[in-house]
Chain A
Amino acid sequence: MLIALLALVFAAVELLPGDAASASSERGESAADLAERRHLLGLDRPVWARFAHWMTALPAGDLGTSARGQKVTELLADPLPNTLVLAVSAFVITVVLSLLLGCWAASRPGRLTDRIISHTSTAAFAVPEFVVSAVLLLVLSLWTGWLPAVTVTGGDGRPATWTMLIMPVLALVIPQTGWNSRVVRGALADQASTPHVEAAHFDGLPPRRILLRHQLPGAIPAIATGIATSTGLLFGGAVVVETLFNYPGIGSLLAGAVAARDTPLIAGVVMCAGAVISLVLLAADLIRHATLGVRA
């Protein structure tokens, strides 16, 4: 899967107009200079050959060199942990919030709370990250001055204060919670109509106990899959959110790399994000397998 994705990245960059040599060309650079740089960057070789070369170095942990001659692994050293901090915090908060909201709504099916949560979450998911970000920025920073508007880093390459994380995390959490609380609510509703849950109702067990002990375990496989899907969307959202809040992560690195047609750097970023997403998907699969296994 990941290999196919990376191949796609190479092909997609190839299809964009211009290449790394022309994107970084100088006014007055002669055609000969350009051809030489193209050769140095290996751009005169066919795209599949470049891809094969890049892939064979991969097992040794070598992500190649960027169009500007720096090691991609070095370029990723600071931004990748920053993005992981952002994405993991957003992920954890999303999971907790979605479960709470989903359960809350499911425990009052059809009532006002349920409807409010359901509509708000749909709306939250429908709003793109950059709109959420813009609103957060205006309200929490420019109008009230409660939070710093952008991230400024210190000498250690990390955000200067933890408060700089709040808005980027919120901008990712809001749409994803919208999506996942609907998933949770839906999965719980499906479980509500299963025989053993209905039996529990007839037995007169308290609704809260039914929800947590009987509905939720059965719903977990579906919830895990939904949340795993979120990981990909979180990384996608990070590209937008990091640029807006000047957060020094792989998202902003990627934006610049695409503009510079820097294939090895783009592939390196995709590789790391892809690896994380694959791991989460795998975890979700394992959870589903484990829980279904218990039931089977």
Chain B
Amino acid sequence: MSVTRRQLLWAGTGIGVAGLLAACSGGSEDSEATGGSGAAGKPRTGGTLRVGALGHASAITRDPHGTQANESDYLILALLFDTLTIPGAETNTAPRLAASWEPSADLKTWTFKIAKGAAFHDGTPVTADDVVWSLKRLRNTPSGAARLPGIQAKNISAKGTDAVVVVSDYANADFPLMTRFSSFVMKKDTKDADIDKAPGTGPFKLDWFRGGNARLVRNDKWYGPDVHLDAIEVTMFETPQAMTNALLAGQIDLASNAGAVAARTAESRKDVQVLRRPDDMAMPIVMRTAKGSPFADERVREAMRLVVDREAMVKQVLSGYGTVANDILGTGDPDYAKDIPQRKRDLTKAKQLLRDAGFDLSKTYELVTTEDISGLADSATLFANQAREAGIKIKVVKQESGAFWEKTWKAGDFYTTYWGTNDSVVFFASKTMVSEAGQNEAGWDDAGFDAAYRKVIGSSDPKKRAAALKELQQIEHDRSGYLLWGMADGIDLAAAKVQNLPRLPGYGRVQLEGVWLR
């Protein structure tokens, strides 16, 4: 089971909706609490939202189950099609096309009920057969095993016309979480050649698509809450710079994921909202824990975590658009252990730990990084400078992206990585930390952690689960192979008139159906 890099960046899909649902159903506290585009009165219906999103003309795709390298493509697909579930603010998994779900006692069989009134854009109702066909299609893509872990295509079946049964190879209390990602539902037997015109079930219908740009119009018959916008126009931008210029010149109303540089440019403009979605991106440093690595001793790993100056990292690497983290991945999770004390810089203790562990301070250690995302290589350089103050010599090695993922990732002793799915502690545990995980980046094998993980996914009792989840995070904080110094905010820029924008991390930003224009 492996989840692909890009999918993970998108794993936050839909996260904003729970907040929007709450806002729409009368409780506008959610958006007020987050400030900025707060709920200024009653939502007004009408208007066209012009959105800019990043993408490359050479990488355009229309397939909801394909690999969407372009954010612009993913945004369009997420507005046209629905996934079974979506991330939420209060609970990690919230309903969408699946109105409810129910596990068997052994947590292996999951039954999803399709939302009442759900229909495709051409008017035909969504049936269990459509969902089964779509999930099987998804499972049969090259990365299908990663997208629906533990589920074989033959174990997906229809029960009546409005329920779908999925049988997992093992007990998995968190399976519905996986259906948030790319379980887009299409009509049964849609041919690959017809995907460009395939009707979705989402809040918007396709008016036109051309060269990565599209116009979408409101689906008045959507089964979800009221959609206020008449239309959304998506323009694809090759660079964040051009996208920011378009926003400043008033040619678009929303620049999605514009980044810290754009935020600084726009900070002085009163007519532009700078929206920060916390817990958007993690850029941890990975230390190999397996034998033979200089970081095999857990005291060395703790020393490294004590060496880093987290405030300085956030300030310099992220231009201040981020928060300090505590070496536990999944900071956006409602169940994130906020009560574990924040680790702080302590050079004396770090030096002591290194001495105790017999760490060789005469050697120079290579920290491998890439320039895949902005700030990543800078984080390595700044950390190397900070480590020098504790007498540790670190040389930063920048690798070309392809070579990095082929050779260093999962194999190197010391490297930077990044993840966009920061709303689930269990997700990271199952994908990157449990000893048998396909993407065990640090080669970590910890019996205590594995046991805690099994308790979490194997228990349906919320109390037992919560206790196990706390234990799991404590172990991760104490001795995992990760040094997670901070979390980058996701940054969107918007015109003043845009209201009720998604606030949650990751691809929460693609859930724009609750937006309205003042």
Contacts and interface: CB of A to CB of B under 8 A. Distances in A.
Interface of A: 17-19, 21-31, 33-34, 66, 68, 75, 78-79, 137, 141-142, 145, 148-150, 152-153, 155-157, 243-246, 248, 252-253, 255-257, 259-262, 265
A28 B146 contact: yes
B210 A157 contact: yes
Contacts, number: 139
Nearest to A145: B249
Nearest to A265: B58
Q: B-side binding surface: helix, strand, loop or mixed?
A: mixed
Contact of B405 (A27, A145, A265): A27
B59 A260 contact: yes
B400 A66 contact: no
Interface-centre pick from A21, A31, A33, A256 (highest chain B CB count, 10 A) = A256
Contacts of B5: 25-28
Contacts of A137: 245
Nearest to B210: A157
B316 interface: no
B211 A157 contact: yes
A241 to B, nearest CB: 11
Interface in B57-74: 57-59, 61, 67, 69
Contacts of B251: 148-150, 152
Nearest to B419: A27
A243 B240 CA distance: 11
B323 interface: no
B56 A260 contact: yes
Interface string B207-239: 110110101000000000000000000010111
A177 B213 CA distance: 34
B451 interface: no
A161 B251 CA distance: 12
B315 interface: no
B245 A26 contact: no
Contact of A78 (B211, B243, B401): B211
Given A22-B405, A137-B245, A141-B245, 6 more contacts: A17-B402, A27-B4, A78-B211, A157-B210, A246-B242, A257-B58
B239 to A, nearest CB: 6
A17 B246 contact: no
A66 B56 CA distance: 13
Contact of B237 (A18, A246, A253): A246
A148 B142 CA distance: 42
A82 to B, nearest CB: 9
A149 B58 contact: no
Interface in B187-220: 207-208, 210-211, 213, 215
Contact of A153 (B143, B207, B213, B243): B213
A256 B405 contact: no
Contact of B438 (A28, A34, A68, A257): A28
Interface residues of B, number: 47
A244 B210 CA distance: 20
Contacts of A262: 58
B248 interface: yes
B406 interface: yes
5 contacts: A25-B402, A29-B143, A149-B242, A156-B210, A260-B56
Given A149-B246, A155-B210, A246-B242, A252 B57 contact: yes
A33 B246 CA distance: 40
A142 B241 CA distance: 13
Contact of A246 (B67, B210, B238): B238
B401 A153 contact: no
Given A19-B402, A24-B69, A28-B439, A149 B211 contact: no
B58 A68 contact: yes
B249 A26 contact: no
A-B pairs, top 8 by smallest CB distance, nearest first, are A27-B5, A22-B402, A18-B402, A28-B2, A256-B56, A26-B4, A149-B249, A256-B58
A253 B58 contact: yes
A49 B401 CA distance: 26
Given A79-B57, A148-B249, A152-B251, A26 B67 contact: yes
A91 B245 CA distance: 27
Contact of B6 (A26, A153, A253, A261): A26
